Structure 1
């Protein structure tokens, strides 16, 4: 729809400032606030500041001569004279609403030669009384005049009302005032007003129009926009808008008493106008029985130049068959939100919407607050209205002829059934919005074919519905660029469902896809999306991502993984040559590897745009082992979104905010280097002194000696052996779980829930170790106070120093200090570890003791959990 010139003029007149304005205190006694635009003009806001208008104007003349806009609303100014406002004569916009102004003295604005906009809304001016009010008081330069809320309080008294004659304002383009039940005078036939609002939709307006006769707006031949929304209209006559030949926008919304019985008359009169947009929203009851749109309602629209139509909030349940055939051929946009559409033959006729580009039907079946029922006027029940019309297009022959002229349009004969029809979409349709419609649907291995196959659909929004599983294929969508299944309770979506090679923006946030991505078969989900640029996977309960998940997204620019449980982000980043925006807010990340940080730097340099990384609300590790990443964060802090909200965590559990981090991190390298050197030198001195005499002995007995040392330390300084310590009931835990952090997802998702659900009490270091105590002491104490130690043996386990330490301490406890008939150490072989990589102590133990092998075979899982439970309980 072509933009109206008056809309541009309105924007220029009202908005003189932009976001770069500077704010300051100003006005008499600095009670007001001023905003200065880059051009030097000032907008002064004195709204509800208890100021005097003369003082304000004098301060403008003496101190603030560049003020162009003055808002002095809600100050109870009352009546004023020319001397009071004379110093404001150079302003271009004046807002004086809600000031108890009852009259305007003649000549009060006579010196205002630059004023373009004047707002006198919600005062007590008797503008509809020709003998009491002189419209000539307004300055001739006005282009915008607002007079809402000036209807007299004694309107129940029998008296005649007339609209004020403002035709002498030859530059007036926008006029807003209350609507009354009388005709607008013939003097407006040559008026310059292009935008007329008689609505009571706003907080200040009043509109009492109940019927619109052919004479009501007969003189408004130049008006292009007519807003009579939220009046009390009950009936509109056949030729009501016939003489408004320039009319482009008609707003009849929020007239709940109107119903659909007058729509045919509205349609008929709009044939003679230049109508572009008709707003017929919320003219029907919100509650009660739904309604149907009939052919007779829209038949005459076939002759109009209508480009957009709105039927929002009308509780429409059905559209009569062949209605779409009768809609104007230039129609581009249909709004049908907040209705209650049900299935019908009209669903097979979308192909008849020849040039429609957008269909917006969000929030079907929306639930409304019951309190609205009490406030809503009783609406007209017009479902029994006649279906007859004199419209020449309603005959079966005419409908057939029109349908035949439209490609992909299906005409529905009188006795046709759905079984004989195939659904068709318009070839020109580009945008479909169907969000929040309470739709519950599974697409399991189902193929839904969209006709025509060469459709033009670019945007599909199916968010806020319920699609638990999307495994089938929908389409084809050869031109689709935006697709949303946000907040759809979806736990699985297949690559077939996403086979859209032109898709650029995919919104899958607020679903349950974490389990699918962690599954070995979840790596090909996005294999067809080779042109995807934006991917939103936030809030999906994701803890693990398959390394190859994004390997086909060569054009991806933004990935949002916020609000998940990701600890390690280890994916194949080499194909992501355009990635510049990564969002990890609210996860459990400790660090990012060098491949990812280097990729962001390389992409930023090659593309010429700065990258953005969001790591807020994570568990970034502040330690020597992570120092390279920490220094990288310092170097690129300007590229970190919300950097000053970030918190960093030391190994001892304490935290450092961003300010402390920037202060301390320059010293981290020196601290790490000194600590390392000291340890190395100390160890070298001890080993050198003892190597000749005790080298071989110490090496062979090293774990026994270390175990003995910690036992003695515990007996003197920490742990006290309980009486009858060998009795199982005296242990705090049934089992201490020894594992590598790399296998945390197995511990958290399987070990803990499965064993603790069986009544076992487990000791897990990330959950149960006491802060502030050395890690070694925590480990020894956990082993001593647990009936069994369970080792989750994997490739990552044997590479971790603390894991080997835990194993050997448990081994020493088992063979040296506790009599365990069935063994105090249980090994779970979580992964097949090559024998050559196993430490000798572990290999020796496994050669002489039984162990349990973990299986991922669903059939073998029950036996594994049974064996593990038995091994712990014995």
Structure 2
């Protein structure tokens, strides 16, 4: 063995030991695409193109669970199947595209459970299958190739009931007629040899050896058209597949005519290249065995023709006809009532003119016009109006639109309509068949569901994926028969939870990959889904928040907002309740501890302190001798003597009070004394009570104090409310007192002893100021004024 071959084999097998793969993945070991796993877990090995020249038992010994091995496209020249003796469950072995010319037949016993053995494209001179092939009792699929085929080559597998046999016979040079008849198989796939007369004998035997025959790579110029009757005579074929072949249309038409009168029921043609001619030639396709004709991927190399051969297909008496990817731009309406039940014209260039006013498709049930050039939905509906049996219509992947108000006439029998991948908008709901049960409008430009959908009385399934819907349709306008709703990949932001209430009959809903906004409305939608008794496809993994940004990517089922943040009434109730509780607490606290009184006292104290600072001290030293002049009723004199005076006039003489009974100058008029005392006092204190209202002199004193020169620029009045005085008890002549009590803050005498300390502190603070000490007493005795006021029952 050459050194390079040894190195190549070592390299490939070293990769085999390093890169392995699971059953779900099938890559190439030589490219290093496998995973590192335990060899006993490996079920498949891909050893293609590894330049392997020989195999050894140790190569596969560790892979006890190996089921599939691909050794194709290597350099094997001989093979001994004993290398697989430890792979007892091996089912699939591909050794095609090697250089094999020898098989160790005695070693076939080591792969006795093989189901698929693929050996074509090697260097076998003959297809002689030795008797040991009889051991392969489970064999189902067999692939072979050789240069000669003799009658007894398949004798040793004649008893095997195979499912398929693949014969790559491009290089076949000799064939003994009758050899293929020994094969017992459901399907034979033959790649025909280049020698035409050998192909004829092969086909003759193949048509009698199986029920399904596939013939590939037919290139005949000229073709043995005259031999078709000989080939198909007394054939057993029911399914015939022609793939990858090239011939003139004239030959093809004759082949079709020959197949039409054979046992073939299903004819499939894939990859037909037209050469030479492409003209219409009448053939008899009115009666025959063919029930289904499928032609796909037609390419014409003929660009000039007098009459297109297309009419021949409309003349065929066949139930199912497929012309896919055949470059059709139209199809001829059959002249006579047709037996077409299935027509598939997908992937062509058909336009709106097809089947207009065509009244011969009376039994047509399935029509597929996928991926064509249809544009007008109105023309499409008119086309179907004459098809009395049409059940299924696929016009997806076209350019359909509807912008009319004209009533659309559809076939009344239509129950399935696929309008996906078109240019339809909301107006499409004005032009839909009333009896449709399954409607596909995916990949259009629909933004909302028109109320015209209520005309679809029989609708059971509707597909609206990949549109521009911003909300879930309201089932109140949709048929009660609706069972399936698909609205995947739209722009639905805030779906309403009421949907599930209005769509109680729906069994399956899919709203995957929408742009959900996670807000309070979403809570109701999620709750409705959780209570939904039907099937919510993709829930919950495929339903995520898109907005706001902080919730993006969160699964709707995991999104939560508090009840308070979403229930306005509850929020208002909590706020109002909290405010009421706070207010009630404050009121109760103030009432219980009499806080307002303390606040007023503090305010008055601060106010007095502020005003004292504003007084010109120099002026006070010149004109003021008393801190306060006290005006009160004689009936309140006990309170003045027992409470007021002791708490204001201390032993330190820091505060001097002016009392009429002590400080009036005898001999002066009463009014003059009042004015003099007020002017020489820094403040005037008025002790208010109901008794105060009964004294005329108190009123005069109040008047003079308010209009004193000092009072023009400063607040020199201090009102002490000894007892409550309701406003209605104040006589009208005391309007000035009423005004003062409304405009000025007065001090209330507290009955509780705990409050009286603050009361006196505030009062002292209001009148506290540094005054010059008088040189002598201003008033030395009581005058007759005192006696006069005593007689009046009032003390100034």
Q: TM-score range by the shorter chain?
A: 0.5 to 0.7
TM-superposed deviation, 1:259: 3.0
TM-superposed deviation, 1:184: 5.8
Change (3 A) 1:86 1:689: closer
Gaps of 5+ in 2: 1-21, 589-796
Bigger Rg, structure 1 or 2 = 2
TM-superposed deviation, 1:361: 0.5
Equivalent runs, 1:28-67 vs 2, <5 Å:
34=41, 43-45=43-45, 47=47, 52-55=55-58, 58-59=61-62, 63-64=64-65
Matched residues, number: 536
Change (3 A) 1:304 1:56: farther
Return the match for 1:136 from 124, 127, 130: 130
Return the match for 1:487 from 421, 424, 434: 421
| Residue aligning to 1:237 | 225
**Contact 1:423–1:451, Cα closer than 8 Å, also in 2:** no
Counterpart secondary structure, 1:542: coil
Change (3 A) 1:583 1:449: same
Change (3 A) 1:668 1:648: farther
Q: Report the Cα distance in structure 2 between the residues aligned to 1:194 and 1:22, rounded to whole angstroms.
A: 29
Q: Report the Cα distance in structure 1 between the residues aligned to 2:251 and 2:420, rounded to whole angstroms.
A: 39
TM-superposed deviation, 1:468: 2.3
Matched, 1:587 2:515: yes
| Residue aligning to 2:434 | 500
Matched, 1:460 2:393: yes
Matched, 1:655 2:658: no
**Contact 2:518–2:556, Cα closer than 8 Å, also in 1:** no
Change (3 A) 1:82 1:499: closer
**Contact 2:348–2:371, Cα closer than 8 Å, also in 1:** yes
Choose 552-561 or 134-143, whichever is displaced more: 134-143
| Residue aligning to 1:407 | none
Q: Report the Cα distance in structure 1 between the residues aligned to 2:557 and 2:74, rounded to whole angstroms.
A: 51
CA offsets per residue over residues 251-283 of structure 1, 9 Å max, x none?
Answer: 22321x313221243234335632022223432
**Contact 2:55–2:79, Cα closer than 8 Å, also in 1:** no
TM-superposed deviation, 1:336: 0.4
Change (3 A) 1:209 1:34: farther
Change (3 A) 1:22 1:83: closer
Change (3 A) 1:526 1:573: farther
| Residue aligning to 1:746 | none
| Residue aligning to 1:477 | 411
Equivalent runs, 1:729-808 vs 2, <5 Å:
none
| Residue aligning to 1:556 | 482
TM-superposed deviation, 1:118: 1.1
Counterpart secondary structure, 1:218: helix
Matched, 1:219 2:205: yes
Change (3 A) 1:259 1:683: farther
Q: Report the Cα distance in structure 1 between the residues aligned to 2:390 and 2:416, rounded to whole angstroms.
A: 9
TM-superposed deviation, 1:120: 2.1
Q: Report the Cα distance in structure 2 between the residues aligned to 1:229 and 1:262, rounded to whole angstroms.
A: 16
Choose 424-433 or 236-245, whichever is displaced more: 236-245
**Contact 1:295–1:322, Cα closer than 8 Å, also in 2:** no
| Residue aligning to 1:510 | 443
Alignment RMSD (CA, Å): 4.8
Q: Report the Cα distance in structure 1 between the residues aligned to 2:217 and 2:36, rounded to whole angstroms.
A: 42
**Contact 1:75–1:99, Cα closer than 8 Å, also in 2:** yes
| Residue aligning to 1:108 | 107
Change (3 A) 1:594 1:425: farther
Change (3 A) 1:280 1:611: closer
| Residue aligning to 1:642 | 542
**Contact 1:23–1:34, Cα closer than 8 Å, also in 2:** no
| Residue aligning to 1:280 | 269
| Residue aligning to 1:333 | 320
**Contact 1:251–1:278, Cα closer than 8 Å, also in 2:** yes
Equivalent runs, 1:142-541 vs 2, <5 Å:
143-147=139-143, 161-162=148-149, 165-170=153-158, 171=160, 173=162, 174-180=164-170, 183=175, 185-199=177-191, 208=194, 214-220=200-206, 221-234=208-221, 235-240=223-228, 241-243=231-233, 245-255=235-245, 257-270=246-259, 273-285=262-274, 291=278, 294-296=281-283, 299=284, 301-314=285-298, 323=312, 326-328=315-317, 331-343=318-330, 346-349=332-335, 352-354=337-339, 356-365=340-349, 422-441=357-376, 443=378, 448=382, 450=384, 452=386, 455-469=388-402, 471=404, 472-501=406-435, 503-514=436-447, 517=448, 523-541=450-468
| Residue aligning to 2:118 | 119
Choose 315-324 or 525-534, whichever is displaced more: 315-324
CA offsets per residue over residues 288-342 of structure 1, 9 Å max, x none?
Answer: 999455432xx2x4443112112223258976587357524xx332110112334
Equivalent runs, 1:5-20 vs 2, <5 Å:
none
**Contact 1:466–1:488, Cα closer than 8 Å, also in 2:** yes
Q: Report the Cα distance in structure 2 between the residues aligned to 1:57 and 1:679, rounded to whole angstroms.
A: 78
Q: Report the Cα distance in structure 2 between the residues aligned to 1:307 and 1:237, rounded to whole angstroms.
A: 22
Change (3 A) 1:31 1:668: same
**Contact 1:551–1:573, Cα closer than 8 Å, also in 2:** no
**Contact 1:535–1:559, Cα closer than 8 Å, also in 2:** yes
Q: Report the Cα distance in structure 1 between the residues aligned to 2:550 and 2:529, rounded to whole angstroms.
A: 30
**Contact 1:105–1:137, Cα closer than 8 Å, also in 2:** no
| Residue aligning to 1:566 | 492
TM-superposed deviation, 1:588: 4.3
Counterpart secondary structure, 2:203: coil
Gaps of 5+ in 1: 1-19, 36-42, 152-159, 200-205, 367-417, 605-609, 615-638, 693-874
Q: Report the Cα distance in structure 1 between the residues aligned to 2:92 and 2:310, rounded to whole angstroms.
A: 52
**Contact 1:121–1:146, Cα closer than 8 Å, also in 2:** no
Choose 74-83 or 175-184, whichever is displaced more: 74-83
**Contact 1:108–1:137, Cα closer than 8 Å, also in 2:** no
| Residue aligning to 1:612 | 536
TM-superposed deviation, 1:536: 1.9
Change (3 A) 1:560 1:289: farther
**Contact 1:427–1:456, Cα closer than 8 Å, also in 2:** yes
Q: Report the Cα distance in structure 2 between the residues aligned to 1:29 and 1:582, rounded to whole angstroms.
A: 39
Choose 431-440 or 80-89, whichever is displaced more: 80-89
Q: Report the Cα distance in structure 2 between the residues aligned to 1:28 and 1:574, rounded to whole angstroms.
A: 51
